[in-house]
Structure 1
Amino acid sequence: MGQKVVVVGGVGGGATTASQIRKLNDEIEIVIFEKTEYVSFGACGMPYYIGDIIEERDHLFAATPESLAKKVNANVKVRHEVVSIDRKNKVVKVKDLKNDHLFEEQYDYLVLAPGASAIIPTIDGLHSIPHFTLRHIENMDKIKEFINENHPKTCSIIGAGFIGLEVAENLKHLGIDVTVVERSDHVLSIIDKDISERILKELEEQGISIHIGDALEKVLPNKTLLLSSGKELQADFIIMAAGIKPNNTLAKDAGLPIGESGGIQTNAYMQTEDPSIYAVGDAIESIDFIDKSKKQVPLAWPAHRQSFIAAKNITGTKQPFEGMLGTAITKVFDLTVASTGFNEGTLKQKKLPFATVYHEGKSHAGYYPGAKNVLIKVHFCTKTGKIYGANIVGGEGVDKRIDVLATAILGGLTITDLQAIETSYSPPYSSPKDLLNIVGYKGEQILFDQK
């Protein structure tokens, strides 16, 4: 009798794992259980659908349950929640949410890809005001429906991470007055504070009101928000973007180890403590590429890479996951901001000796129209020149340069090696000596001065 793989979760990590398994093995039986009605959707596109930038809802879906089942040759069951795992007998208990029916499903391998959930802080009076999170299609539809039916004029967003700022921009695009409240001392906490100042300035210039180092304390009558600073705000509705937490209950109840971050612990082969149970995506505690420390970063690339690794190992090819840098990018009105690797705060926390190169220049040849300023900040080891991480902010060309730096870290290049990267040049795209080449020359001078 052939082997069976049961996958819990049918979005990014779950659908990708199933797809990769099928590419590697035609015989394995695959069953996918997804709690919601939707599979394989582009969660990162949801803010842009809310803001009418993406006009067609269907464009967010890579597959329907039916097309995924056909493509992967799998049994795809939506509105089915896996509620428990019997590790000894290799059986999961499943609830058919539509028919309120419980049944059991046997497995040879189990893949946990339950994702993460939005954090909703306990706030007195929150029930008295319309409030939403944005993690799933259902959340997106509710926000869109509320806006279309109620035509709100004001919104407060709690949290200035990537989702919070992307939603802020898109609501502003709809003509809604937006206020953002952020507990930490700067927006986009994974970005170094001085770089985030550029983003803060852009937000303010675009008419977004920002309250930094503040938090929502209480919701008073008449949709009045009381902040911990004592300030009061008016809002027709609230978007809670205060962070996410891994969906670890299923694994925890099954006795699988959970990391300090709350993510499910796995080894380099994406196996949990139980060798027949794998886990991928936002629900797990992964590892950092640079120093192999534990890291929990909910991003699309790691989820897809982990899924590929899990599929490889399930089908018999032993291959480890080397870790993640946490490379991330977002658009904030007319600016793009990106990061990769360790930021300044992490380097100080780890007590690693480092120096920093700053360079600001034009995105392409200055004499060609449309050149925009780009600020690059790169951290590197003062002993070896090894690149630790970078932040970039600017008008264009940020994406290609952060990707080059992520590749450089993966390849073990030093700060001075950036001098030798032969980048493509034409006046609309770059300069004969690219911004990253100049970063390399500056880095060499810093190393020389420290000797």
Structure 2
Amino acid sequence: MKIIIIGSVAAGTSVAAKARRNDETAEITLYNADYDISYSSCGIPYFLGGEVAELDTLTPRSAASFKKRYNVDIFTRHEVIQIDAKQKKLKVKNLDTAEVKEDTYDVLVFATGASPITPDIAGADQKHVFQVRTIQHTAAIDRYMKANQPKNVTIIGGGYIGLEMAEQLTQRGLDVTIVQRSNHIMAHLDQDIASRVEDHLVKKGVTLILNDEVTAISMTDIQTKSGKVIETDMVILAVGVRPNTQLAKEIGVTIGDTGAIAVNSKMQTNLPHIYAVGDVAESYSVITGKPIYRPLGSTANKMGRIAGDVITGGTLEHRGVLGTGILRVFDLAIGQTGMNETEALAEGFDIEVLHNIKPAKAEYLGGKEIVIKAIADRKTGRILGVQIVGEEGVDKRIDVFVTAITFKAKAEDLFHLDLAYAPPFSTAKDPVMYTGMALQNAIDKKNKLITPKDLTERIEKGEAIQVIDTRAPKQYNVSKVETALNIPLADLREKCKELDPNLPTVTYCNSGVTGNAAQNVLRQIGFQDVYNLSGGNKNYQDYRKNT
């Protein structure tokens, strides 16, 4: 069997490695138009910021070492320019010599990856404007920075790469500006969570421009649609990637609604003996079963392994993804998985939303707060998505939620997890467990929740609603919900006689726990419609500040 793989980064090399482990007799060839194979594009910002000392460490494998270990032929700087799917032939151009040769295959795998998008901006082709995708891009940025010692950099785009570059270049001593055309950074987060990251960026000295876009780039500045002129010595384009599907289109491979190649669970395309893996291929949602596009190295490796197994007679199948992501922005970690609130509503789910603010470990050991936004389906109780922001403990919690959602856990299941506990690592009632408990109580309507957004909208509509601040007067006088009455929890049983038990009532404290206790008191003495403000006054004030 002759297997030809087009592309040799994460997905392509994974196909080859798994196929070779299964079949020692297969003839396996990889063609790659780039210079490098199997490199870590996710590590690029950390080299440019100085955390990774040598660029070579991001390319742990060479074509020669891969050949020696797996008996696989890799031809870098070789571009497949034409495919005849009926005859199972292709033409390959040597980009260094311009020589064109013909090759044949029994099985063909598209692992052509994705290319960074270059926005239509005047001046985007200048020498001080860079993409961040390949090792060659990285080397070019490094050379430019060493030669020109830039002081200011503008990053166009506020996604993962944009934020990682902002962190690293700030730490390297540059003045960093991010320009984001939408109203918040990180499209996979809801605005109320993204705003916390935005505040942290600004606190760390990054200039953040939202709802604007760059219209022109010169050697000394950039200009925006709103008329801003910002001095800049270097520009980083980080507006996303586009799957490299042109070669597949030319032979009739089906392209999905996401713009990537449509594949089944075995990574097979619509054409016989042709597969697609990695950033050029669609995945599908574990929750909805619908196609989604999430170009990540972890997914690419998984897809490659599955295709390599299937091609050589194995039974592996792709089980979909949740679109999980995590990144560090200075000393803040941000993790997300599954659907955000906007996506869940668009899919027609009747959702319950919880903002859970809890310390990641015992406060008496310096535990710092993490903010968990969890979304569940009221009909089934199933967890649909989670977003977490905090300085510690984010990674382990997001992975617990990923596992739970993958296995279709309900909110109530989270409370029953036997999670590891010791004060240096967690609290006795871990934030994951508390999230499940509070969500389930809200779904059962025992302890209903109201988000800051919903409360604000109801107040602005003039709805008759009574809001009770259960904190001490000193805290109340510093910041509060504008219409709230201050009745500390200790006084509530007596002073509740002054309230109307038939009106919708909202209780709140700093983060939710005392507000929940007050909610229980009012429910038990006959109040008909009582809500606890999700995330308490901390969450409310953050929402109001950013809307």
TM-score by length of 2: 0.80
Alignment of 1:14-413 (within 5 A): 14-128=12-126, 130-220=128-218, 223-369=220-366, 371-413=367-409
How far apart are the structure 2 equivalents of 1:51 and 1:128?
22
How far apart are the structure 2 equivalents of 1:71 and 1:416?
48
How far apart are the structure 2 equivalents of 1:387 and 1:29?
45
* More contact order relative to length (CA 8 Å, sep ≥ 6): 1
Q: CA deviation at 1:287?
A: 1.1
Give ranges in structure 2 of 5+ residues lacking alignment.
449-547
Q: CA deviation at 1:52?
A: 0.4
SS at match of 1:68: helix
Considering only aligned residues, what root-mean-square deviation do their CA atoms show, in Å?
Answer: 1.3
Which amino acid in structure 1 is aligned with residue 311 of structure 2?
A: I
Equivalent in the alignment of 2:438: 442
The answer to whether the Cα contact below 8 Å between 1:129 and 1:223 also exists between their aligned partners in 2 is no
How far apart are the structure 1 equivalents of 2:123 and 2:324?
37
How far apart are the structure 2 equivalents of 1:357 and 1:126?
43
How many residues align? The count is 447
The answer to whether the Cα contact below 8 Å between 1:129 and 1:238 also exists between their aligned partners in 2 is no
SS at match of 2:90: strand
The answer to whether the Cα contact below 8 Å between 1:36 and 1:79 also exists between their aligned partners in 2 is yes
Which amino acid in structure 1 is aligned with residue 288 of structure 2?
A: D
How far apart are the structure 2 equivalents of 1:44 and 1:372?
27
Equivalent in the alignment of 2:413: 417
The answer to whether the Cα contact below 8 Å between 1:385 and 1:447 also exists between their aligned partners in 2 is yes
Runs of 4 or more consecutive aligned structure 1 residues displaced over 4 Å after TM superposition: none
Equivalent in the alignment of 2:427: 431
Which amino acid in structure 1 is aligned with residue 217 of structure 2?
A: V
Q: CA deviation at 1:368?
A: 1.1
Shift in CA distance, 412/128, structure 1 to aligned 2, threshold 3 Å: closer
The answer to whether the Cα contact below 8 Å between 1:225 and 1:235 also exists between their aligned partners in 2 is yes
How far apart are the structure 2 equivalents of 1:129 and 1:102?
31
Shift in CA distance, 120/91, structure 1 to aligned 2, threshold 3 Å: same
How far apart are the structure 1 equivalents of 2:124 and 2:42?
26
The answer to whether the Cα contact below 8 Å between 2:360 and 2:425 also exists between their aligned partners in 1 is yes
The answer to whether the Cα contact below 8 Å between 2:189 and 2:387 also exists between their aligned partners in 1 is yes
Q: Deviations over 1:261-305 (max 9, x none)?
A: 210111121011112010001111221111111111111221111
Give ranges in structure 1 of 5+ residues lacking alignment.
none
**Highest CA radius of gyration, 1 or 2?**
2
Q: CA deviation at 1:129?
A: 6.0
How far apart are the structure 1 equivalents of 2:294 and 2:76?
26
SS at match of 2:363: coil
SS at match of 1:440: helix
Q: Deviations over 1:2-23 (max 9, x none)?
A: x011011110000111111111
Q: CA deviation at 1:320?
A: 2.4
